[in-house]
Structure 1
Amino acid sequence: MPLTSVSTADGSLLISWAFSAPAQAVWAGFTDAALLSQWLGRSLECEARTGGTIVVDHSGGYLSRSVITDMDEPRRLATSWEFPEEPESRISIRLGDTEAGAVMDFVHYGLGTLVDSYGPGWITHLVYLEAAVAGAAIPAAQFWPLHSTFETLYTASVAADAVTG
């Protein structure tokens, strides 16, 4: 798992990630319905264009809805993020190529007090994205066990940061 950093500030979550795949392949994970379904949830709608809508079924009747507000393939993607019973927030993704693959800065803005609950979830989803882009999808049944592990690690890391702060 090439998670390179996680930080929170002002109710926003920033995750930096290194992929062994090129930026174009990672980009497809965000804009191709079949790949999106392998890492985020079942894609119900995936219009990969500025103004387009992405709707994902996370199971149990939980649908996320995003509108693409800005995109520059394969470098930049910005969307709204709507999830049931939560205030609307925003996501920004920046991709760049390296000799080893791609690097990504993923920022989820406007989470407020939900910021720490989103950390383990996005890390788990990004592990699934990495696997999907590599052509080695992880079974959906592994999501919650992985999430539980990342939640434990994330909580310990946040506690350690508060002490050393």
Structure 2
Amino acid sequence: MPLTSIETDESELHVEWVIDAPVVRTWETLTTPSHIGEWLGTVVSGSISSGSSFAIDHGDGYLCESTVVKSEVLRALTYSWKFPDEPRTDVTWSLAPYGDATSLTLTHSGLADLVRSYRDGWPVHLTFFEGSALGTPLPWSMFWQIHSTIVNLNAPG
């Protein structure tokens, strides 16, 4: 029961996902560098905690630099998101208990022309996120195949 909704407007992406893991495990997956390496990229500097900055290598040295703007442990996390060839945007994660599972909401704002690209990319990363949270990380070799499937599902008509 992972993806429950995905919505976009002119500059924002909003994704809701249910992870069949408790909030504590989901938070660890979201903030622990070893888990982040299983679903997003390699944390090469910093930490994901209140007021800190961090950098994630998404492959071949393509770094996203971020600063934590807000952190409410086990509930919410907001950080800036800046790739060298993109404007600065913001990523917000909200977590809430959903029975024994976790309702996770991702909002990526300030995207403008990048909405479509991130609409295709975040569901792939969240698929990997879920695998990590469940203790069964997916192999990175599957990333582009899953991405291609998502792109085809989102293609017009």
Q: Provide TM-score, normalisation by structure 2.
A: 0.95
Aligned residues: 157
What is the 5 A alignment of 1:1-165?
2-155=2-155, 159=156
Alpha-carbon distance in 2 for matches of 1:30, 1:45: 16
Alpha-carbon distance in 1 for matches of 2:84, 2:26: 27
- Which string of whole-angstrom CA distances, capped at 9 and with x for unpartnered residues, describes residues 111-151 of structure 1? 00110111111100000000001110101111011101111
Structure in which a larger fraction of residues adopt helix: 1
Q: Is the 8 A contact 1:33 1:46 kept in 2?
A: no
Task: Show structure 2 runs of 5+ residues with no match.
Answer: none
Q: State the 4+ residue runs in structure 1 displaced beyond 6 angstroms.
A: none
Offset at 1:46?
A: 4.2
Alpha-carbon distance in 2 for matches of 1:31, 1:54: 11
Q: Is the 8 A contact 1:26 1:133 kept in 2?
A: yes
Quick check: 102-111 or 57-66, which moved more? Answer: 57-66
Report sequence identity in percent.
32
Q: Provide TM-score, normalisation by structure 1.
A: 0.91
Q: Is the 8 A contact 1:54 1:66 kept in 2?
A: yes
Q: Is the 8 A contact 1:23 1:101 kept in 2?
A: yes
Q: Give 3-state SS (helix, strand or coil) of 2:25's partner.
A: helix
Alpha-carbon distance in 2 for matches of 1:79, 1:71: 9
Task: Show structure 1 runs of 5+ residues with no match.
Answer: 161-165
Q: Is the 8 A contact 1:33 1:45 kept in 2?
A: no
Alpha-carbon distance in 2 for matches of 1:7, 1:49: 28
